[in-house]
Structure 1
Amino acid sequence: MKNIIRRDPQTFTALSATDWSASVPCIQCQAQPAEQIGVTIPSDVVKTIAKTCDVVVHYRVGILQGDILSRPQYGVLSFHHGDIRRYRGTPAGLWEFLHDAPQGGVTLQQLTPKLDAGSIVAFESVDLTDAHTWAAVRQRLFCVSPIVLARGIQHLQDSSFEPVSVPDEDLGTLYYLSDVTLRVQARYLLKEIKGVMARSDASPNGTAEDALAYAVGQYALGEVSIDKAAELANVDQWTMLEILQRATISSQFNPETVADIRQEVGVSWDLSDEYVTQYEDTNVPDDDQ
């Protein structure tokens, strides 16, 4: 399950697939590990960028450190799909989803060596009140990104504009993947199931992804066998077994913990004896539980 959260699936279009990219100069380089955290850009590439660009936009290179942050006139702009005054770190949108946040946001920041603590160049608030799944939350955040970038560039062209510096005491909580504990994974799974089934197109009339989420959830809650889960997801039994093993379903979620979290997120089904037996039959060390 943590690997599913770590992947944070998104849809991208390669720059090489765009019509205008053929006429744009391209410099390829290998980012180098920084001394403590993140990566640096080779000095010769930084010099070239500083001579030819007044602003840099950062996309999925890693946590940038070094001269690249200060050499361009307006620095390096980067999206954070969250309000850095509330949520920092990763994964995007997960914590807003888990905390039932009614509002999210997209921050365009001037990067600094400190993670998600840059000056705000543009910000757009996003309504999440009826975003019932993590995918829906992410989709809303990603959709406004182009607007935020365009607004940020306009701001930088205004000589009277000053990016908003956020004091350390006003920065939001910094989340890491290590914060995605088993309890968090269980809460995510159950809340996602509830969200999928609350949608008008929920299984069996929804998408293949919805059907799979529904089937995994039903199995995790002890409502169906592996055979029935496979039937609900329209996959064979071996594929379903592999999916459940990858998601660590039935081997790491303590039934009592799942029951507690299920009440928190409003899922009311009872755990079956079959699920409890599956948990008790596994040889999981106490620390892993």
Structure 2
Amino acid sequence: MLSRRGLLAGSALALLAGCSPAEPPPGPPPVPAPSRPSAPSDPVTVQRMPSAARGTDVDLVLITPSGVPAAGLPVCLALHGRGARARTFLQLGVPDVLTAAVRAGTPPFAVAAVDGDHYWVETKAGDDPQRMLTDEVPAWLAGRDLRPPSAVFGISMGGFGALRLARAHPDLKAVATASAALFVSWPDARSRKVFADEANWRDSEPLLHTAELRPGGLGVWCGESDPFLGADRRLVKAVSPAVSRFSPGGHDDEYWRGVLPEIVKFVGERLA
């Protein structure tokens, strides 16, 4: 029988474990990949997928509106920020936001999030997130009776990656960024210690390739206290996107949760 001291010690350890900053965002555990094509049966599924493009296994998080059959839905990619992961979109409340938007009249679509890194571009050999998004993700979605991605949404580092993807895929119907982490100079970008060299950054930096972005399908959101506000304003000035929203908020979860409903509606209306 445990002593009272033992019980108290165990309780303290449990509390410490529950508060560990290393604890992953909440979400369903990974499940095996299906042996044959099968549409998701639950509003949220998480599967571990081997990515040859990235040289590692990644989480594939699929989010569909509750009560809506998943088969044949159009798909919006969701690219997370630096230090986050695909499951972060569950923590931000995307499942509830998507379901609420569809129930309010937004045409239904699915959200697909995967694990990325280093601003969603190839900065070292053997790890190419853009190739994963272009060459591997469409096949993963097809194996689940979902359409190829026709939209992309990115937060912070994911905004950088979303704009890089949009340059290579001008057929995307919607491209949305929240607090896009953009860099106005090489010293600014170099300070992040991500890019291999200046040439690697120049090839990838959205602000240096704004002519390749399609303004009609672009939406830009950024908080007025965000450190990337100036860079995002430059993007808006250069591209004149269909939607640009600068409102109170910082570079944090509170701001992103606040703008998610508007972004989901923006994407859904264009995918329709």
Asked whether the two chains share a fold, i.e. TM above 0.5, the reply is no
Per the shorter chain, which TM-score range?
under 0.3
TM, length-normalised to structure 2:
0.26
Structure in which a larger fraction of residues adopt helix: 1
TM, length-normalised to structure 1:
0.25
Highest Rg: 1 or 2? Answer: 1
